[in-house]
Structures are given as C-alpha cells and as structure tokens.
Structure 1
Amino acid sequence: MSSKKAHQTPAEVLKSLELSGQEDLDRQIKNWVSWDRNEATLDQVLDAVRDQDWQALRVRLCNRIPFGPGGLRGSMRAGFDSINDLVIIETAQGLAAYLSDSYPSIQKRETQGVVIGYDGRYNSKRFAQLTSAVFLNNNYKVYLFNRMTPTPFIPFAIAALKCLAGIVVTASHNPKEDNGFKVYAANGAQILPPSDTKIFEAIMANLEPKPSSWDLSILTGNPLLEDPYRQIYPVYYDTLRKLLPPVHLDTNECSQLRFIYTPMHGVGYSFMREAFYQARLKPLIPVPEQKDPDPEFHTLVYPNPEEGREALLMAIKKAEAEHCTVILANDPDADRLAAAELDAKGRWKIFTGNELGALLAWWALESYRTRTSKPDVSNCVMLSSTVSSRIVGAIARAEGFTHVETLTGFNWLGNKALELQAAGRTVLFAFEESLGFMFGMNVADKDGIAAATQLATMACHLRSTRNLTIIEKLREIYDTYGYHAAISSHYICGDPDLIETIFERLRNFEEEQPGTYPKSILDGDFEVVHVRDLTKGLDTAYADRKSRLPMIPGEQMIKFTFTNGFVVSLWSTSRDHKLRYCSELCGLPEEKEWLELNDKLHLMTQAVIEEFYQPNLHGLMRASQFDAL
C-alpha cells in the first residue's frame, strides 16, 4: 500500500475513483468499502474499481453466497459471493438474530449459548474468532475450542453441554482455496429446511456489520467465553469406548494387526491416536508427510478420500514399506472414513462407501448382540440415504430389524435418527455412500474417528477369531444377503445453468410430449418401471404419484428404477459443482453370477449416462470412479 493510500480512508479512496454508473453495482461497491475492515479483501475490491473491472465486481458483489442446510461453503476471496471476514460476520449476525428470536430467554442464551470449532484451513481460526465476537456481543455464552478440532466434536459438544446451536468453520474435503460455515441445531444434528431459509432471511436483515463485530479484544477475559476442550475430550472418548464390548477390547489388545493412517493434512491424527489407545488397538502408523494439519494440502491435488486411489497413493506407499495390509483415512475435518486392504494377489482394494456401509452395518448388529446379549433386534433401526446401496435393507429383512431410507445428506439421516430414538427405537447405524458413517447415537452426524475405530476393531475380530480379511468378510456378507453391485461417480460442472438444463431435459425427454421422462435404454432392451423426482415431489411407484420422501425443490434429484431391478440416481446439490450418479443392481443370495451382474451394471450405467445426460456432457471432467467389488 502506498504511503498516500495508507493515509486515506476507504471512503476517501473510493471518492477519488470513477464508479461504474450502474446503480445496483455502485451501491454494492460502496457497501463493501464502507463495511470491510480486512485490508486484503478491501484492496481486492478497490483495485478492481481502479481497473474498471465491472464484470468481476458484478459477479462478486451483486451475487450472494447461498446459505443452505450445509451452511456456507465457497472460495476465500473478496465479495458477497465468497467466504471472507465480512461475509462471516454477516452470517454470524444473522444466525445470532435467528437464535435470539427462537430462544427469547436471555438466561438461556447466557447459560447454554453456542459451541464453535474450526479446522486447519487458512483463516479458519480467525473466522471462528469473528463468529465468537458476534455472539459475545449479543450476550451469548460461547464455547470456543481454542485449538483445531474434528467436526464431530461440535455436534457431540452441543449435546453434552446442552447448547442452543453449534458452528464449525470448515470446508471439509474441498480444495485449499475454500472454507465454510456449518451450522448445527440444539439437537446436535445439522439444520433442516426451513431453518436454513429462515437463517438466510435473518442474515439478509443484518448485513451491515456492527463496529463491535470486528473487535476481537472481547475474546480476552470475557466471563461468557470458555474453551470446552478439557471437558469434552474425555467424555467423547468415554462414550466411544462404551460402544466397544469388553470382549472386543480384549481382542484388540491381543491382536497384532497394524494400521496405516492418513488424516490428509487435516486435524485427525492426534484424535485418532487417542481413539486407538482407548480401544486398545496397536498404535497407528501415520503417513509422515500427511500427518500434521497443512492448509496447503501440499501432497494432494484434492484432499478428498472420495478420489479413491489418487488420494491414498502415499498411504499405499507407506503401507508397503511397513508391510501393513490395512489403510485408514479421514478427510481433513475427520468426519468421513476411507479404507483399503491388500488382497490375496497383492493388489490394493479401495473400499467404496457402499461397501464400508455393508461391513459396518453387519458389525453394528454383531456388536449390539455382543454388547447386550439380546438376540431380539426387532426394536433396532439402521438408516441409509436414498442414493446409497440397498444392502442395509437386505440385512434388515433377513435379521428382523428396521431399515429407514432418508434423503441424501446427514442433516436428514441425523435428524431422522434422533426422531426414531425419541420414539423409543434403538438406532445402531446410519450411512451414506459418500463415506459418511454414524455408529450409534453418540454423535448425530457422520464421525470418521468413531467409524475408523469400529472398522479397525472389526478387522482385529475377524483376523483373530476366524482368520478372515475385511475383503473376505464383505464377500461373505454378499453371499448371505445378496450381491449388491454398485457404481458411484460424478462429473465436474461449474455451470449451474447447465446442470438445470440437463435435468429439465430429463423431465421433458420427448420433444413431442413435454413432461415425459426417459422410458428405456439401449434401444428399448431395458425399460424404466418407476421414476422418483424429488425436485418435483413425484414418485410413479405410488398410485397418487406422490413421493413419500420430502420434496427438495432447491436441489436436483431423479431416480430411475428398471424392470430388472437396476436403479440409478442422478443428482446435484447447491453445495458443490458436481453432477453425481449412483447405480446399483442386486442379486439374490443364491445367485452367484457376480461377474455377469457387474457386466450388466456397467453396461446399463454407461447407457444411462450416454442416453440421459448426453449431449450435455461435452467438456465436463469426469471424476475418479468407484467400481463394484
């Protein structure tokens, strides 16, 4: 900054510049310059004004980053369409106003308050501190973790401390340029509609930052501010350990099985190390280059375990050097779990989310029976999302417990699990195919630490009692409950309008008959028998053609069921720029033609992509694909 510029106020600098002459844009420029006190982002806007880059300014200042059930997530840069100090303050002010309307009792706000955590990304700590300042200035009790913590600690702390809400600053497994603001309700689960809409309305009604919102001195010596770490840490691990029957703890202690672990440059290592100690497992062997938090994620193109082998290359190298056969991985905020195992032919099998869901569902049932000595499981429930494998439903039908399907996302899974628990049901497990697993009800959200501990305990149990590998157990599950061949993948698409065009084409597939969906693939060889379009609330499987799952007009989601039982879900959410698809074809337990089933699955999936998505996919980048076993 030049010395002359340094002595000018932002308003003086702006006065000396020529604006665009476009009323709405100029108003937003003036708002930004008047409100933003972060020198770096303020300079980005002022420099764009000097350069008369009106197009970039319009994109950044005349668009608002959406606030949905997942909160905020986006790139860190100047602009109301992005993540930065100003947008975080505006969001915190709106959330505080929403909660004050929801909880008018001042005593409740001053005693129960909110819990706030953050991950290891750039600016995460600062964003958490700014959020804390806003809530302290509104006379809320604030439990601010003063160190990086896994996302599951926030919903756990809400329940343990009886808070009114929780916030975690994280962009999970997004690229390093991104960050986010995730909100949990008083029940410890992620918020559901219409709460997100009401919070957004409160944000828009409280956009101008109060001067006090920028003042972090309020974090020093404030009686309403407390670090909950020492209180929450031991309680979290105590509840984690209680889900492990003593006999499994003994098996873990005797087992010689070792595990390679990567937190993908995230927060997970020290917390996973403690989990393994509490579970009496052999100490983890970390990937040294990825062990510590690193906001650059310097060894990974994408810090996302859903990328499969690409994300686990260094873990595989370390496992081979250490002669270990099992790899565990968390994403950077430690709420997801990925795993791989060396097979009998020396190849690494990277498990899909659906396969880990099958394994952990079996293990949840096995553990419950061991822990309670109750063979009757009729009161027990497991949940999975609508785009996940139907394997849990098959296990439920065979074993006598209940399976519940929800919309995609742990906001739906967690809230439904809490609802079932309140009704007296015993919730054992929930999962979604994107590597999210909830084991028990200690955390009403996905928890990669608990899931990894359970998977490692299962591996020790299988090896010690039956000399089985995880791969062999998965095959045994399919032999028992039917083979479930599945594919999950996605295309990268940064154009929301193109995504909408693709889905509207599916809803008007025949030009001469608007409102018709595709009826078949491969020249009519395989016919569509049912269509469920949750964007429109349609399900042709029912006589009234109404979906039994909630309608989600703000998202795109269509599921096709074919006459041979093949199902494919096509969807996209506002949280990312992905055009996702999941497909599945199931066989009965007595049907052993797995290769034939796989071949048919791949044939039909490819046909759906080519016939349903084309011609719109030109130029889109296809992501790494998880294939069936």
Structure 2
Amino acid sequence: MSDNSDKTIQQLVKEWLELDQNEATRQEIQNLSDKEDYDELERRLRTRIAFGTAGLRSSMQAGFAHLNPLTIIQASQGLASYLLTSVPQTTPSAKPSVIIGHDHRHNSSQFAKLTATAFILKGIKVYFLEDLVHTPLVPFGLNLLGANAGVMITASHNPAKDNGYKVYWGNGCQIIPPVDAGIAAAISENLIPLEGAWDTTVLSKEDGHMVEKVKGRVEEAYFEKVKGLVEKMAVDGEEKVRFVYTPMHGVGLEAAKQVVKILGVGEEDFVVVEEQAKPDPDFPTVKFPNPEEKGALDLAMATADKHGITIVLANDPDADRFAAAEKVEGKWQILTGNQLGVLFASHMISTTSSPVSEAALLSSAVSTQMLAAMGQMDGFHHEETLTGFKWLGNVAQQITARGTHKAIYAFEEAIGYMFSDVVHDKDGIAALSVFVTMLKKWLSEGTTPAGKLQELYEKYGFFESCNGYVVSPSPDITRKVFDGIRKLGEEGGKKFPGSLGGREISYWRDLTEGYDSATSDGVPVLPVDKSSQMITVGMDGVRFTIRGSGTEPKIKYYVEAKASGKEEAAKAAKEVAGAIVQEWFKPEVYGLIA
C-alpha cells in the first residue's frame, strides 16, 4: 500500500477523517486527536495494514493499520480492480464474478456487505452467501458457480478482537505469489472510497443481475459432495458411534448436524457441548478459541465424562480445522494434528477406488515425516510443500493436472485436513464426516483411534513430535535470531552449523537464503521467500523446522523424532526442542518469551 512515511501525524489524522464515513471509527480517531495521543495515533495510522497470501488479519480498530470499514472498502476496491485487469474478458458482457461469505465475528456481516458493495460498484457480479457459513463453503461455491475469486470474512481461531479478509483465486485455492503482490499494489491505487461505497443497501435493492444470494444452493451441493466422499468409505455392519461435539462458539454446529444426518448417527449419540453450541463472537468459555490451545477442550471432555462417552470431536470457530480426543484407560488424550493426519491418510489409502500407486498425498514442511514413510512402504506418491494450504491446495491441483497421479488428500500439523474431492483447502466439516466414518470402521475391527494409531506406529515406526514457539518482540528481532543461527555455520567455514545439542547436523535447507544441502546444485526444490524466515534441519533420527510466523509475533519450532519405541522418540524430540530454544533462539539475549 502507499507509503505514509513522509506525512505528519496531523496530515494522517486529516486524511482518515476525510475518508472514513463510519461514525464509530471516525470518532475513535477524533478522540485520540483531541487528546493529542500521538503515540497511539502513530500506531494506528502510520503503517497501512499489509495484504499478503493470507489476505488481511488484524484487530478491529480505527486506523490504516487495522481492520475496519474503511480498510475493508480499500482492500475490496483494490481486489476488484486487480480482478478486472487479470481475468480475460471473452466478450464485452462477460464480467468477472466473486463469491463472498462471512462468519459470526463482530463486524463480519458488515464487512461482507461492504466488500460486496465495492465489487458491485466496480461492475463485478457478486454471489453472496447471505448468512453465517463455515469457511470451506467459499472455495467450494467458487468452483461450483465458476466465480473468479472468493472472499471470506473470518479470523478463524484468532482472539475475539480480531477479524480477517481471506482471498481465494479462480482455481478455488488460497492465493499465492505473485497474485498477492498484484492485489496489494492495486489496493494502494484504490484508497479513496467510490461514491456509494458506504451504502450497503444496494445488496437488497439488486434484482439478481449483479447480486445473487446463493447460500442454500451452495450448501446443498456441498453436502451432496461430502455424502459422496463418505459413501465410498462405507463399512458393513451397523456399529454405533457416540461422541461429544463442540463448534467452539463458532459456526460449525448446523453443518455438523448435516454430517450426522448423512452418516445415520442417532441424535442421542451426537452430544453437543451446549455452552459452546451457539455462535458467540466473544468466545466466553475459552481463553483462545482454538482446539489446539491448552484447556480449549476441557468443557467438551467434561461433557463426555458426564455422558459416559470416550470420544470428543471439535471444530474451530470457522470450522475449517478439526480436532479429536479419546479417553484411553481413564485418561483423556488429545490427538495431535500429525496423529490425525496419518490416521486420515491411512484411511484414504485403504478406501481409495484407484490403484494406490496412482494416488498422491501431501503434507507441509512442518508436518510429520511419517506420511513420507507410509508412501515409501505402501507405494503412493508423497509430496512436501511449503507451510499453508495455499501451497497444499495449489500443488495438489498441479500434481493431478500432470496426469500421473491424483492428489486425494493433504494435511498440515496445525489440525488442517484437505479432501480433494470436496475442496482444495482445509475443511473441518469434511474431516468430521471422514473421522466418524473411520470410527465406524475401527469399531467393526474391534479397535479405537488409539489402537489404530498404535498399529500404524508398529508398521511404519514411532514418530513423536515436540512443537512450540517463543514470542518475538518484532520482525527485526526475529530476523536477527535467524541471522545469528546462520552465523554459527560461518564460524566453522560452512553454510550451516555442524551440530546442535550434541547431535551432528546432516541436512540443511534454508528457504530464506535459498540453499539446500541435499540438491546437486544447492538450490531448494521448494520456493524461496526472502521475506520470511524458514530453515529445516536433519539429524540422525530427528528432523525439525524453525520459522517465523506470518500472522503472529512468534518464532515456531516443529521437532520430530523417529525411533523403534514411543518413549525413545519422544525423549529425542524433547531434547532437540530444548536445544533449539536455549542454543539457537537464546531468549535472554534477544528478549524472547519462551
């Protein structure tokens, strides 16, 4: 976006007050100006919120640095402008189209309507998902209706004060470079709201020519697709599955009810956590509305105990992620994203109608190497991608387009699972449907998730993870941490350090600097991105990735060890994780919070 560095803070205040026609956010800036709170005004106005492959995500406050009605209009006008220049027009009347959806967060409905209005004013047709939807309906509807782009207003599992603007491209995948840069440039050229940009009543006045409300149509087709996915996996017998479900104050319940209906699960066997059942943008019962966070599933597990149920299933608030827990020998065990990932993978391979050798399964660079081990033993094609479903989805489509394999499934350790027959993005509702189908199958075989996981470990080896993060004060500090790690190698005249925690390093891939020790020319196969920090390291029996988060002030580490036993693998992973934090991240030196 355009640079504000040469303007005084008074000029930025004047610019904001001239552009913003939302009374609440105008007043926020006016009040700060009246109080002469220049430090806060600098934080709010000096830097514009940056558009990237994740779209926009920020707290909802007045100011160019945050999400609010004005920055939503600016982003939408820029995206619309980019769409008009990048989508070929076959005939003069063939205009691009976009699908727009939103979740239940504060301001999500308003943001979606402002987004739609911006597209209409630019002459772009809007397919509008007019009520609360789970995120995967946007990419699914995009493909169903042949739209050229999609926007979902959601901040997924972020805290209640946040919201986001997630963008999909014409192939139904999240955007990747260089599309993000093109959109960002177009936003900077479309900062002045068009006449009528604030009047969202255009949505109700439209006769269907420029706006079409499509929620019912898209949902019906979506659940037919989910039904087709699980029908291929059906098992003989009528095993009764019972589980507790929580949508975590999000939008997942209505979709989960459809899944239960499709799978023939009795209402008495589908127990919902009532305190978390309804969409609530304040997420009152959880500190963070993310099933991965410590304590987030406590209420669901207590509900299960009350009903004598041993399985808990959960979606995050926008229902694109999926989590599960099982009570084993009297103790609750939350399945990790990697454990769920390989359970789904094993099921997909065992139920595929095509030869296994023609199937492709994908995982990201921060996810378990167990999938690669499964591919080597079972004969399916495995491919690794950069972090995020923008890469998993796009690469899956590229693999299938080549014609040698069909990409049927992909996952990432952050409880994201993609079933290509439904959508090329993570989908917590499709995952829910497949998991319940797997439960039925395992029960027919006399086992449970924990038992099945043990079978897989005994066949492919024990893989144990130790993942975590430190909080970094700033992107500049994050860069210094990674530069300091690289310099450890320079001291020995090498491109990378020789050891960590007493273990010799045998493999080094730096996707920031563009070096891979395993390729003949030292150039990585995966894309290099100088703007982000990401290093993958291999040691005997251990592999880990460290990276700077693109959406949070964190430096993350993902450590995995393989051994002949669970305890041995877990011990090695924990030791290496500790060495990463103490020897490489050096919290005391850089002011990081471990």
Provide TM-score, normalisation by structure 1: 0.90
Query: Counterpart in 2 of 1:8?
Result: none
TM-fit CA distance, 1:503: 1.2
Name the structure 2 match of 1:478.
457
Tell me which of 334, 338, 351 is aligned to 2:323: 338
Q: 1:112 to 1:200 in 2, by over 3 A?
A: closer
Structure-2 residue corresponding to 1:502:
481
Shift in Å, 1:90: 0.1
Q: Equivalent residue for 2:41?
A: 57
SS at match of 2:57: strand
More displaced stretch, 419-428 vs 161-170: 419-428
Query: In 2 relative to 1, CA 202–176 (structure 1 residues): closer, same or farther, beyond 3 Å?
Result: same
Are residues 291 and 615 of structure 1, via their aligned partners in 2, closer, same or farther at CA, if it must alter by over 3 Å?
closer
Correspondence for 1:608: 580
1:294 partner amino acid: D
Q: What are the Cα deviations for residues 338-389 of structure 1, in whole angstroms up to 9, with x where unaligned?
A: 100010x210110110000110000111121xxx2x5x31111000001100
Report the CA distance shift for 1:331/1:108 in structure 2 as closer, same or farther (over 3 A): farther
Tell me the distance in 2 between the aligned counterparts of 1:265 and 1:538. Answer: 44
Superposed, 1:102-501 pairs within 5 Å as 102-105=86-89, 113-222=97-206, 223=208, 224-245=210-231, 248=234, 251=237, 254-283=238-267, 284-308=270-294, 310-343=295-328, 345-368=329-352, 372=353, 374=354, 376-424=355-403, 425-464=405-444, 466-501=445-480
2-structure distance, mates of 1:72, 1:129: 17
Which of 50-59 and 267-276 deviates more? 50-59
Secondary structure of 1:77's match?
Answer: coil
**Alpha-carbon distance in 2 for matches of 1:109, 1:180:** 32
- In structure 2, what is the Cα distance between the partners aligned to 1:144 and 1:85? 18
- 8 Å CA contact 2:489–2:498 kept in 1: the answer is no
Confirm whether residue 48 of structure 1 aligns to residue 25 of structure 2: no
* Unpaired runs of at least 5, structure 2: none
Segments of structure 1 that go 5 or more residues without pairing to the other structure are 1-20, 623-629
Report deviation, 1:282: 3.3
Q: Conserved in 2, the CA contact under 8 Å of 1:269 and 1:291?
A: yes
- Deviation, structure 1 residue 600: 2.0
- 1:487 Cα offset (Å): 1.6
Question: Percent of pairs identical after alignment?
Answer: 38
CA separation in 1, counterparts of 2:485 and 2:233?
53
User: What is the count of residue pairs matched by the alignment?
Assistant: 585
CA distance in 1, matches of 2:519, 2:37: 54
> 1:112·1:161 contact (CA, 8 Å) conserved in 2?
no
Q: 1:570, 1:230 → 2: CA distance?
A: 43
**Cα contact 1:387–1:408 (8 A) shared by 2:** yes
8 Å Cα contact 1:120-1:148 kept in structure 2: yes
State the one-letter code of the partner of 1:168: M
Q: Rate the CA distance shift 1:233–1:22 in 2: closer, same or farther, 3 A.
A: closer
Q: Compared with structure 1, are the counterparts of its residues 201 and 468 closer, same or farther at alpha carbon in structure 2 (3 Å cutoff)?
A: same
Instruction: Provide the secondary structure at the position in 1 that maps to 2:333.
Output: strand
Matched, 1:569 2:541: no
Q: Which residue of 1 aligns with 2:516?
A: 539
Given candidates 482, 494, 498, the residue that maps to 1:519 is: 498
| AA aligned opposite 2:448 | T
C-alpha distance after superposition, 1:105-126 (max 9, x if no partner): 2868866510000011000000
1:85 is displaced (CA, Å) by 0.3
Query: Kindly tell me: are residues 82 and 303 of structure 1, through their superposed partners in 2, closer, same or farther at Cα, counting changes over 3 Å?
Result: same
Q: Structure 1 residues 621 and 23, CA, compared in 2 at 3 Å: closer, same or farther?
A: closer
Helix, strand or coil at the partner of 1:542: coil
Q: How does 1:68-87 map to 2 (within 5 A)?
A: 68-87=52-71
The one-letter code of the counterpart of 2:434 is Q
TM-score (ref. length: structure 2) = 0.95
Whether the 8 Å contact between 2:290 and 2:296 is mirrored in structure 1 is: yes
Residue 41 of structure 1 aligns to which amino acid in structure 2? Answer: T
Q: CA deviation at 1:25?
A: 2.5
Distance 1:515 1:422, change over 3 A: same
Contact 2:232 2:351 in 1 (8 A): no
Deviations 1:52-99 (A, max 9, x none): 112221221110111111100001001111000000000000000000
Letter in 2 for 1:560: V
User: d(CA) in 1 for partners of 2:11 and 2:88?
Assistant: 34
Q: Which amino acid aligns with 1:92?
A: S
The Cα of 1:305 is off from its aligned counterpart by: 1.4
AA of the residue aligned to 2:100: I
Residue 595 (1) aligns with residue 573 (2): no
Deviation at 1:517, TM superposition (A): 3.3
Q: 1:519 to 1:232 in 2, by over 3 A?
A: same
Establish whether residue 31 from structure 1 lines up as the match of residue 15 from structure 2.
yes
Mapped to 1, the partners of 2:593 and 2:55 lie a distance apart of: 26
Q: Which residue of 2 aligns with 1:6?
A: none
Counterpart of 1:626 in structure 2 is none
Structure 2 partner of 1:557: 534
Decide whether aligned partners of structure 1 residues 418 and 105 sit closer, same or farther in structure 2, where only a CA change above 3 A counts.
same
Letter in 1 for 2:211: L
Provide closer, same or farther for how the CA distance between residues 247 and 46 of structure 1 changes in structure 2, counting only shifts above 3 A. Answer: closer
Are the aligned partners of 1:365 and 1:428 in contact in 2 as well (CA < 8 Å)?
no
Aligned residue for 2:234, secondary structure, equals helix
Q: Secondary structure at the match of 2:130?
A: coil
Which residue does the alignment assign to 1:3? none
Change (3 A) 1:381 1:443: same
The answer to whether the 8 A contact 1:584-1:601 is kept is yes
What secondary structure, in the 3-state scheme, does the structure 1 residue paired with 2:535 have? strand
RMSD of aligned residue pairs (Cα, Å): 1.9
Kept in 2, the 8 Å contact 1:266–1:294? The answer is yes
CA distance in 2, matches of 1:328, 1:170: 22
Deviation at 1:22, TM superposition (A): 8.2
